[in-house]
Chains A and B, each alone.
Chain A
Amino acid sequence: MEDLERFEKALRIVERYEGYLFRRAMGIALIVCGIVFPLTAFMVMKAESMAELLNMSARAFLTFVPPLILLIGIGTIVYGFTSAHVVTSRMRKESIWKDIPHMVIMFLVWFISFYLTNYVPEPFTTVSWLWAGGGAALISYLLNRSYTTEAEYTELLIIGIICIVASLPLLLIREEQIVLTATFLVFSVSFMAGGLYSTVNASKLLSEREK
């Protein structure tokens, strides 16, 4: 029985370690998203001048550079989550399928939010991407809170608040190019802030003592 207790205690510690790995991977994923996606969009927007700088045609630039950046970014995210794979739940024989409905709902929230921006009238279309991202992040935060009590996902709250609040002054700007650049910048800052919060707070999970 002593052996069983030792095993249970060790398993709880490993679970805490896996929670730390997951939060760290999530933080890195958010930071990578904050860099890669706005950077790719910027590259596509400025393809001609960038291609000229690199002494290549705009078509060749668009074929290679943005997909390469995206590939590196997605690769980094996938590597992060693969190294944070959770094995203790498998040892406890918990079903891996139980999280699928929750993940589908989260995907739908983000997809529908951005889909709805198609119906926003013209001068506000670009800013509405921030409302979509911010709104989806806030809804995801609330959904996660109701789904699990183990984690808070405050990073989603941070992303949501930054996107929504930063979108307000953009409504006063008439120059479309400035609004577009600022929108990418806000996305970038909000995701990086959320990612940094997640990464810094992940290490707190390591020192958490059992109650």
Chain B
Amino acid sequence: MAEKEAELPDVLDKGGIFSAQQRFTIMLLLYLHKRAGFTELQKLLGLTPGNLDHHVRKLEEVGYVKTRHVLDWRPLKVIEISRAGAQAFKEYAVNLRKLLEQVT
């Protein structure tokens, strides 16, 4: 059991990208809803724009999300999950579920 737990970070989260609560939440939300506005995410997570931008950049660097600007009744920055991001998150969630089944 102790061995299994020691292996956890590598098995579940390649590169520790989902280890931060904020990035995990952003990915779960985007996995379920495909896209969300930057301002909405900022309010939802209670982050400063710079702080959210840092997390989004981290996710962008590994190709899990992409940002684009759309023109609504005001200019909006929208964050979308990429196909690679959805796949990676799905794998992570499946592994997490398996692990929880083993633990409980």
Interface residues of A (CB under 8 A from B): 1, 3-4, 6-7, 9-11, 13-14, 16-17, 20-21, 87-88, 203, 206-207, 209
Given contacts A17-B36, A87-B32, contact A206 B103 (CB under 8 A): no
How long is the Cα–Cα vector from A24 to B8 in the complex, in angstroms? Answer: 40
Asked if A7 and B96 sit within 8 Å, CB to CB, the answer is yes
Question: Chain A contact residues: over half helix, strand or loop, or mixed?
Answer: helix
- Segment 13-28 of B: residues with Cβ below 8 Å from A: 21, 24-25, 28
Sample of 6 further A-B pairs with CB below 8 A, known A9-B21, A17-B36? A6-B21, A10-B29, A17-B29, A17-B33, A87-B33, A203-B43
A86 nearest in chain B by CB position: B32
Listed A/B pairs (12) with beta-carbon separation below 8 Å: A3-B100, A4-B100, A9-B21, A11-B28, A13-B29, A13-B44, A13-B45, A14-B32, A17-B29, A17-B44, A87-B33, A203-B43
Q: A3-B96, A4-B100, A17-B36 are in contact. Are A10 and B44 (CB under 8 A)?
A: no
Does A207 contact B100, Cβ atoms closer than 8 Å? no
* Interface assignment of B79: CB less than 8 Å from any CB of chain A: no
Q: How far is the CA of A206 from the CA of B46 in the complex (A)?
A: 9
Using CB atoms, name the residue of chain A closest to B29.
A14
Which residues on the B side are within 8 Å of A7 (C-beta)? Answer: 24, 28, 96
A195 to chain B, nearest CB (A): 15
Point out the residues of chain B lying under 8 angstroms from A16, CB to CB: 44
Residue of A3, A6, A10, A17 touching B99 (CB-CB under 8 A):
A3
**Which of A10, A20, A88, A206 lies in contact with B25, CB distance below 8 A?**
A10
How many angstroms between the C-alpha atoms of A207 and B46 in the bound complex?
A: 7
- A20: chain B residues within 8 A (beta carbon): 40, 44
Nearest residue in A to B103 (C-beta to C-beta)? Answer: A1
Q: How far is the CA of A203 from the CA of B32 in the complex (A)?
A: 20
**Given A3-B96, A206-B43, A206-B44, residue A14 in contact with residue B12 (CB < 8 A):** no
Residue from A1, A4, A11, A17 with most neighbouring chain B CB atoms (10 Å): A17
Contact A207 B43 (CB under 8 A): yes
